[in-house]
Structure formats: structure tokens, C-alpha cells
Amino acid sequence: MKTFWAPQAWIGGRWADRVLLQAGADGCWAEVATDVPAPPHAEVLAGPVLPGLVDAHSHAFQRAFAGLAERREAAADDFWSWRDRMYRVALRITPEQLRAVAAMLYAELMRGGYTQVCEFHYLQHAPDGRPYADPLTLSWALADAAADAGIGLTMLPVLYQRAGFNQHTLRDDQRRFATDAAAARTLQRGVATSGRPLVNAGVAIHSLRAAEPAAIAQLVDGLGDLPIHVHVAEQTAEVDDCLQATGLRPIEWLAQHTPLDARWQLVHATHALQAEIDAVAKAGAGVVICPSTEGNLGDGFTDVPGWLDAGVPIAIGSDSHVIRAWPEELRWLEYGQRLLRRQRNVCAAPAQGEPATAARLFERALQAGGAAAGFARWGLQTGARADLLVLDRHEPGLRGIPTTRLLDALVFSGTAAPFRDVLVAGRWALRDHRLVGADPGPAFGAAMQALWAQDV
């Protein structure tokens, strides 16, 4: 048993004082108690404590492309032209380079307050499109990278069959992605039974345009309570294509043709009508919003107040990793709505006793993220994994801030490095802003140089 004591900790949606936290040998919280004097044997933590968040949507290999698509040579630039350029890294990255890139990414995510990442993993085959001798080669590269960083990993092998609703095969530049339902389930089982610490697995569907309805049904049949993630309604062109091909909008199609329930995580869900929000709420499914990527790609604004008011769980993801810290994701989740509506504190709900925007968004992301990663319990509660973040009160953005306003300042004042220490499953992964594991920087730098030496 490891015993920690915090002057303040975020428990049950509020700050509690004098908090005792005991982590068992299984890496989960055995006891969480408030208003307790510090026992002599406890490790006294250096500042207020928050639970770690789940990054509910990641494409790790795209970290190698962050910052390299911010020029426009043609008359226009949009998601689809960005995607074509992104495929360059998808077609050339090796397993060794993927591990190096992902190790850097996962360390950055941990510094940014995440202790678990859901990897929406569709990069499966060798660059020429042929399967590796071990079909899990790239999955192991990601799992090794997560172990290097000390972060938890939810692997989501992706069903990816076709290039579009009326294109029944993949494009040549999508050759590394090809999987059917049986292959995705085999990959899921391989990861789930590997016995690797801090690794679990669900499944994912790339999108309705990329998967046949029969294959979607086959993928989820008999899956049990594992998480199911799907890109949906990210782009207006996708909505238009789905309408033309099926007569229904993407979220509308899911609600009518899949066993939509709490296992399902609708990633982006940017272009959703109120009737679709209501259908998702009725089914008990969740959404995963990725504000920094959606802003970077020009996707548009989803109706965040609509999702909140309907009671739909909202997790957050860093997706293409142009930003790798959850305070900025929550900030832009709110700022997008402010810009759209020309109002402030749009996501607060004073009539419901939730006047603090940051607290409302953080608490929703905390609970929804745990479910998106397949955990029945998440946060600072008995039975949940023993993860925590220690805030650095010496950071300028947090210095002198009253405890009751700490979360507000963390999200909206732009503090550079707010997390001093990070605990994952009862073990320190970051101490005094330093990684406990090896520095991923040299291998990452070498991988980036090899990937982009001749082409940016």
C-alpha cells in the first residue's frame, strides 16, 4: 500500500481539503478520504491534486506531421487537401519511427495532464500494403511507446475497407489501412490478451464512408461491453455524401442501424442537428470532441451547449496532436462557442448549480473519458486506477490564485507547465517536471529528420 496526502484534491466535482489517498498493489485506489490529518508515513504531495484525464482520440503517427501543413500553395485548402498531404507520413513511417514519434507524443500528453490515451489505430500494414509477419507489429510499437512514457493505452484497431460510399476499395495511398471486421477483432483480441500492463483494447470504425454496413454489424456483434469508437459527421461533405448514399445523415444512420448505446463514442460529431443530439442522448452514447484539431482543420463548431444540456457524455481528444494538453482543449471548447455566439461562459450552467465553466467541462471530460477508454471507474475514487496530477503552485498562472478558482485559472490563463508531478497506476511517471523514464527526444529527432529530410 502506498499512501499519499494532498492539501487539496478534486473529488466529486469540487475541491476537498486534507485528502488521504491510498494506492493498492493492483495500481488502483484502495481508499480516498477527505478532511484527514497527514499520517506520519504518508508522502505529502507538493500541491493541489487533480485526477488525470483520458485523451479519448489519438492518431499517434500524425504527431510527425504537426506543424507541417500550415502553408497554402493552391487556391484553397481544407480538410481533404490536408488529408492527402498527411498520407505522406502514413505511407513512409516505419515501426521503429512510429515508436519514437509515439514515445515523444505520449510523454507530451502526460505533461499535458493525460494519464490514458485512446489510440484510434488504422495504420496496420507495411508501406507497400502487405501485412507484416506479425499483424500487430505497429500495435506493439505503440504499446512499447506507451510503456516508455508510463502512460496507459487503450488500443482501438480500426475497421477500414473502402475510400467512400460509392468506392468499394481503398485508394492506393490508403493501402496501409486495409482491415475487415474479422481482422479488426483479431487485432483487438491480440492486444487484449497480451498481458501488457496498462494496456486494454476496444474497436473502432473509421467512418461510415469507409465501412460497409454488414461489416459494422459483424464487428460489434458479440463484442460485450468493450468501447466502440467511430469518426462521424466531422465534415459537411461527409454529411452530404451520406445523405446521397443512404438518405440519412451520419448520426441519424447510426441511431437507426446500429445498437447505439453507452459503448459507442461518436468522434467529432461536429455537424449534428438537435434531433440527432436527442437520439444520441436517448441511446446513452457519448461524443469525443477534439477542439484543437477541429479548429486546425476548419471542421466547424459542434453544438457544445446542446450536447451538455441533453446530458450526453463529452470526452476530449487531441486527434492530430497540434495541441497536446487538455487545459487548452477545454479552453478552445469554450472559446469556439464564445466566438460563435458572441457570449462569455457559454458552457456554464448557473441554474443547475454549475456556474464555473472550467469545472463543468472538466468534470464532464473526466467521467466521459474514463468510459471512452473502457473503465467503469475513473478519477479520485475507490476502485479507480491510482492516477493523479500535482499542480505546481509556483507556475505564474497559478501563483496566488485562491483554491476555489484554481481550475478556472488552469484552463483560462494559459499556464505553460502546470503539472509538477504525474502518477499513473500508483507509480510516478513525472517528478518535478522531469520524466521518470528515458528522454524520448533524441530518437524522436532522428525519426523526424529521416521522415522529412527530403520533403515537407
- Residue positions annotated with a catalytic role: 268, 319
Per the CB < 8 A criterion, the answer to whether 399 and 359 are in contact is no
Task: Please give the Cα distance from 190 to 184 (Å, whole number).
Answer: 10
Contacts 24+ apart (CB under 8 A), 167-176: 173/84, 173/87, 173/90, 173/91, 174/87, 175/91, 175/125, 175/128, 175/129, 176/90, 176/91, 176/123, 176/124, 176/125, 176/126, 176/127, 176/129
Let me know the angle formed at the C-alpha of 65 by 61 and 71, rounded to the nearest 5 degrees. Answer: 160
User: Would you report the helix, strand and coil content of the chain in percent, each value rounded to 5?
Assistant: 40, 20, 40
Task: Please give the Cα distance from 403 to 44 (Å, whole number).
Answer: 18
Instruction: Taking each helix axis as running N to C, give the angle between helix 95-111 and helix 137-149, from 0 to 180 degrees, rounded to the nearest 10.
Output: 30
Distances (CA, A) of 175 to 97, 102, 162, 166, 355: 19, 21, 10, 18, 49
For residue 412, the one-letter residue type is F
**Alpha helical stretches, state H, 355-452:** 357-372, 406-412, 441-452
Per the CB < 8 A criterion, the answer to whether 407 and 413 are in contact is no
CA nearest 211: which of 152, 254, 240, 172?
Answer: 254
Rg (CA), the chain: 21
Task: Please give the Cα distance from 168 to 232 (Å, whole number).
Answer: 19
What are phi and psi for residue 234, nearest 5 degrees? -75, -35
The number of angstroms, rounded, from the C-alpha of 421 to the middle of its chain's C-alpha atoms is 20
Contacts 24+ apart (CB under 8 A), 161-167: 161/210, 161/211, 161/212, 161/215, 162/209, 162/210, 162/211, 162/212, 163/209, 163/210, 164/209, 164/210, 164/241, 165/208, 165/209, 165/241, 165/242, 165/244, 165/245, 165/246, 166/245
Q: Is residue 40 helix, strand or coil?
A: coil
